[in-house]
Chains A and B, each alone.
Chain A
Amino acid sequence: MAADIIVGIGPEGSGEAAAHYAAHLAELLGRGVVLVFGYEASAMGPRGGPLEDQIEAIAAEVTNEVKQRLIEAYPKVSFEIELVRDRPVDSLIKVAEARDAELIVVGHGGGGPLRAALLGSTSYELVHRGPIPVLVVPDDPTSSDD
């Protein structure tokens, strides 16, 4: 079985450009795509229960919408969804390792190095910590204002 391509999906379609690029590659290489939505509420307050349940419901909805659009554009590629309760970076690494994946594709919202150092950035961190090759795709400027 061919190894998967992992894609990071964020709220409101961030990572959609990355997902399209991953699907494009998957079609060329004959691979499957796994859409990963990692989410974690801030640890500066109590967590669990309805907070995470509701975030998970939103994550499922958003990821499903992306999946539907991808299926229409790339009918030959198989798409799967994984929702993970962890930081986005750790979620991607977890799924990549569990599935023995081939490539991780993530979007990049255009934040600079200062922002990445202060607040952290999924793509910056993943490039350094990724256990397998990582591909960073700039977000479509029209789909995200971040």
Chain B
Amino acid sequence: MADKGLKGGSLGIVAVIVIGVASTAPGYSLAAGIGGISDAVGKKAPFIMLFAFVPMACIAAAFYYLNKADPDCGTNFTWGVRAFGPRTGWISAWGCIIADLVIMPNLAGISGQYLVLLFSEKAATNIYLTTTIGMLFIAAMCWICWKGIELSARSQVLLLGTELAVLTVFAAVSIYKAFNGVTRTQTVDGVATTYHSLKPQLSWMSPSGVNTHDIIQGLVLAVFIYWGWDTCVSVNEEAEDSSRTPGRAAVLSTFILLAIYLVTSYGAVSLLGPDFVANSSSDALYELGKIALPTVLVKLLLIAVLTSAAASCQTTILPATRTMLSMGAHGAAPAKLARIDRKHLTPDYSTWLFGIGSVVWYLLLVVVSHNTSHDLYSSSIAAVGMAISVYYGLSGFSCIWYFRRHLFKSFKNAFLIGFLPLIGGAMLIFVFIKTIWDARNDAYGYGTVFGIGTVLLIGTILLVVGIPLMLWCSVKYPTFFRFRHDPADTVPDPNSEQTLAAQLGTYTKDNRYGS
């Protein structure tokens, strides 16, 4: 065969890494998350950056093995049904859709803001302008997903390379300047505050001196920065030499992500201290970039965040609509959700439904946060962290329960499908419960509505709305809700040759096999 190209034959290792890292969208994740994380844990941001990866990596192991048993685009939905039955699967799917929906205003807001910042700093404070651009951004991204437009492998490598290079330069320059000492005075609402740079220290990577409450608060924000990384674990199906590519790609993309998050958080925190990052949380990366970099590079940083946000938007819309498609196709929700456009081969109904939902939700947030002093962008990241914790946590426990007959067959099984998913699942569910517990009294500083923390309000209300919706579906679609979880003795060992589970719905409550 002639030159195989980047994706030659099937997905090569470079393509899998690019997909994994681009899906995680480090530029956008940092722009959105670094302010809140610094606010929560101060200079210990590098520690949280590293620590948040632990539960995410553990759950990736669960995703990998569940995906082997049933590679279904509904992922945690299908796996939840197989392990625990239709109700758990349905709620798990809802958690996933809500996580995707809740992050859309943030994506749109940051894209609107950073796009305007490219041209004028003054115009970026114009909420009507940035909101309009944000809505157009959502519409454009839905259109791209619906049309099935995808960048060529080469363009993706180029974009991602630029993004990583700009972030690295930003981090290096910031750390260099911090060692030499920087002082800035900023006046906000007539109050002048002077910020000083901090000399980077290795102890920023250790949890010493941070209390559990702050760690949890940091974690709920930071799980979001690794969200999407699991895609490179589940593209295994088609990957060239699929026994080695996904493993190596996952390790390499992990290394790239950890390195980039570590150096940028060091750079961000040291340049003018964590308070500066926390106080300019809505556009922290831009404010920091202006101090560290020459104008040309600042523009490049803005462009890197924008392209990263676009990639992130795609990896938000696609999983949401494919979960909806899977639910529609398996009869758990209206069949329309599973409709595929004949020309573009993408789920059109789900895509536009999700797009409309996102715009409505975005406008609602803008109106609420404009009329109150609540920092709803940060709290929406906390809310997404909660939704991620629920559905990732459930996937971890689904994995353990689903493969329960195979857990102790080998050390490898016990570690990869038992221990890791347990650690990940337990950590995430703990984060979820602790966040609700703490947010009761507005311990989160994002403002309160009727004395309840907005994080709790946004995250929990949306998740809870899923329960009546599920009950409604269970009346409307009784066949699906008669499905039984896969009996343990029918589950194949994920490390054996035979790894395909029986069709979903093969086992039903009235024992009518083979529906």
Contact = CB atoms under 8 A, between A and B. Distances in A.
B149 interface: yes
Nearest to A116: B152
Nearest to A61: B342
A119 B19 contact: no
A46 B319 contact: yes
B3 A128 contact: yes
Given A48-B73, A119-B152, A86 B322 contact: no
Interface stretch (B310-318, B416-424, B459-467): B310-318
Contacts of B67: 46, 48
A44 interface: yes
A44 B3 contact: no
A90 interface: yes
B72 interface: yes
Nearest to B11: A43
A119 B155 contact: yes
A87 B23 CA distance: 20
A54 interface: yes
Given A118-B155, A131-B2, A58 B73 contact: no
A47 B73 contact: yes
Interface in B317-333: 317-319, 321-323, 325-326, 329-330
B329 A43 contact: no
B238 A50 contact: no
Given A43-B19, A46-B319, A11 B237 contact: no
Contact of B72 (A11, A43, A50, A129): A50
Interface in B54-84: 67, 70-75, 78
Given A44-B315, A47-B73, A48-B237, A120 B153 contact: yes
B344 interface: yes
Interface of B: 1-5, 7-11, 15, 19, 22-23, 67, 70-75, 78, 145, 148-155, 231, 234-235, 237-238, 311, 314-315, 317-319, 321-323, 325-326, 329-330, 338, 340, 342-347
Given A41-B346, A44-B150, A51-B73, 15 more contacts: A12-B343, A39-B345, A44-B19, A44-B231, A46-B322, A47-B71, A47-B322, A49-B70, A49-B73, A49-B329, A51-B322, A51-B347, A58-B342, A119-B155, A129-B1
Interface of A: 11-12, 39-55, 58-59, 62, 85-87, 90, 93, 97, 116-120, 125, 128-131
12 contacts: A11-B343, A42-B145, A43-B231, A44-B318, A46-B75, A49-B70, A50-B72, A50-B338, A51-B340, A117-B152, A118-B152, A129-B2
